[in-house]
């Protein structure tokens, strides 16, 4: 049921121009929303808001179409025996689902019920927390998160290396910055300022920041780079190892920092010895001098940042690549020092001050065991790449019911056909989604929620993301609250994302306690905050937000006083090392050193004659993964996902922009349109993900695009810990096709 309660300070649906908060991606841009006749009709940037300079992107400006567009679902749906959908009242849907879950639990046990929380759940931190509380109350550990098919190596790299409590120094102070397959101008991520990254980059380059970009595409950030290593994809661990090799050979490391803070120097030195810049330059298709220059620029800078994006995490060896980023920073002693401003000061999080000291490595694979590929819950979560198989594999532990919260597995998962079979094999698939997506189409129930201009929100995620990805998040002590600005469309009967799990728990007689954690691995900033919910009276989102934020450094009420957001005077400075601290970072982790030895013996992916191109992922500015494909304001210009190709490759293959081709990998085949792109390296092709249709529908490459997941096998180089298969640097061949 939609939340209709209005916060005292803002009358919902009042005409005029009101400050709001876009939460479509982690940018969390402040916006101005024009409301007319009770509906949002226009969204622009908010020039009165601090830090963002009035920035918005096309997605944020399309929020009115997301809210009022014809594709939005306004009623809950139930699948009928003939495969069609019919309306069902939201409370009736909850009652039916509760009954079906109870039956499944009685027959198969609670672990037959799983939850998948996707990117659509990140417009607020609350839905996943309440959904998690419900799953715990039910007794199921099967909480799959999208982070495991995103950058799972990041968490593993941190667990193996340990954390530097105070993180990196702030971006504004950095002298050099390395982006490895990460394009924050488009994606707003990457340990990079999330507040208008394009502008921040421009300013930084003007003040002399030396940006090093490692990417097979001359992407938006590479155009501003001091050094662009336009490598072949999949060679990132070797490139970073060569940089380490140079730093060691030339004595550019910080011996004193290492003596006090880190173990493993000798092991790292031995493991990196084979990777001379000459060897790696040949493998990665780079000039040796550029590799050496990158190492010198990095080591010569006083303060740096170094971050990986999805590209390297998809190209196999993601854990190693992420681990080596940590090692490089530690080798050079580039972490924040006592007296530096603290990089991610808590505002809505509890007060905490980082010290200039290590927090030790932690066990990376301590979670619930799965039944496939030897996988289990790990530092990055429960592997979503195993979800389809866990549904399909009969026997004890088989998943029978799946709740999909703001995710679209049919578009996003590797091996679309297997995912398709899995979704259909479920006894119960409940999809919480505002649209009829490829996954919704296979659901037994589709529950559309109120959208973000209809629900209050805070900037909490901009801070708490550091618990997943240390050193990411917002650099400034900034916080923001935004009230609901409009009511859901008249006549709609929606089901709120967190309210659903509350109502479901109530219908199943399960008490809920939401647990908010404040830490990452071995670093705990504050004890967990447990909030038991009153199961007799459902709180409003505002009330729940206040309860969950009861531990904030700056009280929520104070934050609410600034309708455009505020940079609070939290002048946290990194503290001296605790004299009792004995923790040490590890730059010689045995598993990682072994992986380096294997890499030394055999190069990472190379093209062969049968599949001569390497296909890499990229993101587009007008979508967040699949979200936006149905939005007329966003898909008008480009409804599909063309394959970009270097002009030299295109000429050799006799292809031109607009041609229709088959893209074939060793595993599958899809259709695509060609787009000639001089910014992509020869030998490499690039496509964005989350396009195409379900496998049972005829797909027109020009109208629907192609689903890259069909080219990817979950059994192709699955990482032994995270289960992520090869999703990038994918060998492909292009075949001409007559439409
Ligand atoms: N506009 C927009 N923003 C988004 C999203 C979106 O879909 N659209 N999605 C959101 C999500 S879920 C995420 S996870 C983040 C991701 O954010 P990013 O990780 O920044 O993702 P991309 O923008 O795709 O940039 C990946 C880069 O990796 C490069 N690359 C590919 N393969 C390799 C390789 O093997 N090695 C190297 N060195 N580079 C490689 C690609 O050329 C590309 O430039 O973005 C988030 N923000
Ligand atoms: N080949 C290939 N595969 C990839 C990637 C790639 O680059 N290449 N990227 C990977 C990455 S990094 C990610 S994160 C995943 C993405 O995987 P998913 O997160 O599963 O996919 P999305 O398309 O982001 O799904 C988000 C869904 O949330 C819905 N939604 C939007 N707002 C709300 C809301 O407020 N509430 C609810 N309940 N739903 C909402 C949208 O309609 C959409 O259906 O894909 C991964 N798969
Ligand atoms: S970058 Fe675009 S989608 Fe992301 S928060 Fe800002 S306006 Fe919204
Ligand atoms: Mo992602």
- Given a cut of 80, whether residue 93 has pLDDT beyond it is yes
**b/e per residue 555-580 (b: at least 16 CB within 10 A):** ebeebbebbbbbebebebebbebeee
Residue among 121, 237, 619 to mutate when testing ligand 1 (max atoms within 8 A of CB): 619
pLDDT at residue 4, as a whole number: 38
Q: What is the 3-state secondary structure (H, E, C) of 488-519?
A: CCCCCECCCHHHHHHHHHHHCCCCCEEEEEEE
Ligand 1 mean position, distance from CA 187 (Å): 7
3-class DSSP state for residue 627?
Answer: strand
pLDDT at residue 738, as a whole number: 64
Spatial distance between the Cα atoms of 488 and 498, rounded to a whole number of angstroms: 16
CA dihedral 360, 365, 366, 369 (to 10 degrees): 180
pLDDT at residue 646, as a whole number: 98
- β-pair partners for 532: 513
Q: Most distant CA pair in the chain: distance in Å? A: 72
DSSP state of 440: G
Question: Helices marked H in 213-350 — which ranges?
Answer: 236-249, 255-261, 265-272, 277-284, 288-300, 310-314, 318-331
Residue range 489-530, pLDDT digits in tens: 999 999 999 999 999 999 999 999 999 999 999 999 999 999
Residue range 392-427, pLDDT digits in tens: 999 999 999 999 999 999 999 999 999 999 999 999
Spatial distance between the Cα atoms of 662 and 313, rounded to a whole number of angstroms: 26
Residues near 408 by beta carbon (within 8 Å), at least 6 away in sequence: 118, 120, 433, 437, 438, 439, 625, 626, 627, 690
Residues with a CB atom less than 6 Å from ligand 2: 118-120, 123, 146, 149-150, 310, 405-409, 411-412, 432-435, 437, 449, 497, 617, 624-627, 689-690, 708-709, 727
Ligand 2 mean position, distance from CA 307 (Å): 22
Spatial distance between the Cα atoms of 427 and 106, rounded to a whole number of angstroms: 14
- Given a cut of 90, whether residue 469 has pLDDT beyond it is no
DSSP letters spanning 633-698: HHHSS--S-PEEE-HHHHHHHT--TT-EEEEE-SS-EEEEEEEE-TTBPTTEEEE-SS-S--TTS-
Residues near 488 by beta carbon (within 8 Å), at least 6 away in sequence: 2, 74, 450, 451, 454, 494
Residue range 313-344, pLDDT digits in tens: 999 999 999 999 999 999 999 999 999 999 88
- Given a cut of 70, whether residue 2 has pLDDT beyond it is no
Strand runs labelled E in 99-244: 113-117, 143-145, 163-164, 176-180, 210-214, 227-229
Q: Can you list the domains of the chain with their CATH numbers?
A: 168-335 (3.40.228.10), 606-736 (2.40.40.20)
Which candidate, 673, 668, 645, 670, places its Cα nearest to that of 725? 668
**Radius of gyration of the CA atoms of the chain, in A:** 25
Ligand 3 mean position, distance from CA 551 (Å): 28
Please give the average per-residue pLDDT across 264-276, as a whole number.
98
Residues with a CB atom less than 6 Å from ligand 1: 25, 119, 150, 180-184, 186-190, 214-217, 219, 233-234, 236, 309-312, 315, 616-621, 623-625, 686, 728-729
Residue 470 confidence class, pLDDT cut points 50, 70, 90 = confident
Spatial distance between the Cα atoms of 29 and 49, rounded to a whole number of angstroms: 9
Length of the chain: 739
Residue range 232-243, pLDDT digits in tens: 999 999 999 999
Residue at token pair 């982690």 = 26
Residue among 116, 690, 692, 714 to mutate when testing ligand 2 (max atoms within 8 A of CB): 690
Strands 457-458 and 76-79: unpaired
pLDDT at residue 604, as a whole number: 63
Please give the average per-residue pLDDT across 679-698, as a whole number.
98
For residues 588 and 509, the answer to whether their CB atoms sit within 8 Å is: no
Reading the block at residue 648, the tokens are 């030299």
Task: Provide the mean pLDDT of the chain.
Answer: 95
Residue range 619-666, pLDDT digits in tens: 999 999 999 999 999 998 889 999 999 999 999 999 999 999 999 999
Residue 190 confidence class, pLDDT cut points 50, 70, 90 = confident
Ligand 3 mean position, distance from CA 24 (Å): 6
Which is the closest atom of ligand 2 to the Cα of 452?
35
Q: Which residue has the higher pLDDT, 8 or 691?
A: 691
For residues 507 and 501, the answer to whether their CB atoms sit within 8 Å is: no
Residue 735 confidence class, pLDDT cut points 50, 70, 90 = very high
Q: Tell me how crowded residue 353 is: count the other CB atoms within 10 A of its CB.
A: 14
Which is the closest atom of ligand 3 to the Cα of 57?
2
Which candidate, 57, 68, 73, places its Cα nearest to that of 25? 57
- Given a cut of 50, whether residue 6 has pLDDT beyond it is no
For residues 290 and 559, the answer to whether their CB atoms sit within 8 Å is: no
DSSP state of 486: S
């Amino acid at each position: 049921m939609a939340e209709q309660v209005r916060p005292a300070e803002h009358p919902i649906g009042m005409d005029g121009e009101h400050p709001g908060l876009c939460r479509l991606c982690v940018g969390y841009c402040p916006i101005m929303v024009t409301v007319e006749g009770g509906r949002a009709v226009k969204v622009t940037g908010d020039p009165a808001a601090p830090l963002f300079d009035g920035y918005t992107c096309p997605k944020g400006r399309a929020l009115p179409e997301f809210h009022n567009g014809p594709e939005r679902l306004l009623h809950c749906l139930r699948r009928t025996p003939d495969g069609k959908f019919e309306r069902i009242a939201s409370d009736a849907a909850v009652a039916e689902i509760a009954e079906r879950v109870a039956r499944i639990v009685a027959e198969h046990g609670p672990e037959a019920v799983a939850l998948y929380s996707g990117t659509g759940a990140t417009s607020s931190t609350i839905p996943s927390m309440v959904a998690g509380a419900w799953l715990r109350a039910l007794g199921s550990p099967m909480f799959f998160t999208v982070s495991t098919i995103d950058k799972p190596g990041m968490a593993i790299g941190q667990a193996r290396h340990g954390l530097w409590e105070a993180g990196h120094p702030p971006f504004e102070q950095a002298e050099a910055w390395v982006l490895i397959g990460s394009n924050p101008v488009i994606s707003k991520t990457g340990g990079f300022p999330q507040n208008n990254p394009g502008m921040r980059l421009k300013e930084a380059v003007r003040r002399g920041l030396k940006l090093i970009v490692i990417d097979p595409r001359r992407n938006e950030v590479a155009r501003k780079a001091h050094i662009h290593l336009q490598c072949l994809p999949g060679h990132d661990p070797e490139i970073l190892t060569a940089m380490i090799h140079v730093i060691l050979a030339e004595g550019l490391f910080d011996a004193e920092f290492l003596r006090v803070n880190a173990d493993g120097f000798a092991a790292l030195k031995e493991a990196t010895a084979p990777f001379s810049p000459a060897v790696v330059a040949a493998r990665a298709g780079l000039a040796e001098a550029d590799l050496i220059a990158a190492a010198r620029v990095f080591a010569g800078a006083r303060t740096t940042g170094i971050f990986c994006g999805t590209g390297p995490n998809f190209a196999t060896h993601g854990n190693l690549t992420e681990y080596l980023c940590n090692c490089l920073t530690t080798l050079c002693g580039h972490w924040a020092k006592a007296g530096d401003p603290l990089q991610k000061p808590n505002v809505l999080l509890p007060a905490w001050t980082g010290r200039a000291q290590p927090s030790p490595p932690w066990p990376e694979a301590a979670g619930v065991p799965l039944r496939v590929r030897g996988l289990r819950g790990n530092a990055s979560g429960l592997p979503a790449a195993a979800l389809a198989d866990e549904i399909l594999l009969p026997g004890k532990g088989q998943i029978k019911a799946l709740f999909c919260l703001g995710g679209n597995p049919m578009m996003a998962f590797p091996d679309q056909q297997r995912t398709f079979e899995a979704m259909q094999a479920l006894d119960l698939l409940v999809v919480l989604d505002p649209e009829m997506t490829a996954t919704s189409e296979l659901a037994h129930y589709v529950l559309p929620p109120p959208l973000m201009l209809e629900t209050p929100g805070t900037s909490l995620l901009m801070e708490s993301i550091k618990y997943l990805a240390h050193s990411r998040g917002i650099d400034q002590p900034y916080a923001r609250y935004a009230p609901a600005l409009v009511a859901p469309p008249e006549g709609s009967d929606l089901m709120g994302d967190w309210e659903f799990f509350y109502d479901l728990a109530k219908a199943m007689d399960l008490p809920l306690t939401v647990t908010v954690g404040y830490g990452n691995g071995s670093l705990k900033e504050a004890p967990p905050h447990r909030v038991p919910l009153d199961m007799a009276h459902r709180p409003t989102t505002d009330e729940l937000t206040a309860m969950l934020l009861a531990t904030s450094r700056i009280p929520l009420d104070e934050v609410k006083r600034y309708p455009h957001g505020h940079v609070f005077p939290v002048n946290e400075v990194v503290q001296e090392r605790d004299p009792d601290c004995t923790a040490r970072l590890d730059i010689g982790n045995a598993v990682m050193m072994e992986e380096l030895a294997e890499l030394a013996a055999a190069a990472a992916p190379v093209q062969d004659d049968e599949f001569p191109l390497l296909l890499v992922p990229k993101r587009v500015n007008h979508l967040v993964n699949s979200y936006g494909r149905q939005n007329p304001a966003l898909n008008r210009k480009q409804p599909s996902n063309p394959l970009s190709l270097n002009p030299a490759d295109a000429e050799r293959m006799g292809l031109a922009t607009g041609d229709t081709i088959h893209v074939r990998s060793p595993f599958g085949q899809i259709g695509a349109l060609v787009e000639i792109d001089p910014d992509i390296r020869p030998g490499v092709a690039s496509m964005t993900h989350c396009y195409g249709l379900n496998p049972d529908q005829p797909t027109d490459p020009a109208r629907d695009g192609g689903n890259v997941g069909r080219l990817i096998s979950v059994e192709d180089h699955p990482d032994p810990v995270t289960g992520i298969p090869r999703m990038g640097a994918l060998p492909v061949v292009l075949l001409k096709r007559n439409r």
